[in-house]
Amino acid sequence: MLGPERGKPTPVDGFGDKAIFYYDKSGLEMLNILKGNVLITIGMHGVPAKTVLEQEKLLAKKILPKL
């Protein structure tokens, strides 16, 4: 899956109460996850666009159960 256009958030289902994936101005691909009153941001740069979201999801699956 390729990411959305730069700056336009895409909803990501199955993570916390709400999750979005987007690119910022510097080209950093970011996954923001809201779970309760905690906001987690996972950002990667230099990772192939085809795999960045999947890699961020793998990290989120390790982090979220610890909250």
42 domain-assigned? yes
16 domain-assigned? yes
In tens, the pLDDT along 41-57 reads: 999 988 887 899 999 99
State the average pLDDT over residues 24-50: 90
4 domain-assigned? no
Residue 3 has pLDDT above 60, yes or no: no
State the average pLDDT over residues 4-32: 86
2 domain-assigned? no
> Looking at the 3D structure of the chain, how many domains does it have?
1
The domain of 19 spans: 10-66
pTM score, whole prediction: 0.83
Give the 3-state secondary structure of the chain: CCCCCCCCCEECCCCCCEEEEEECCCCCEEEEEEECCEEEEEEECCCCCCCHHHHHHHHHHHHHHHC
Question: Residue 65 — very low, low, confident or very high, per pLDDT cuts 50/70/90?
Answer: very high
5 domain-assigned? no
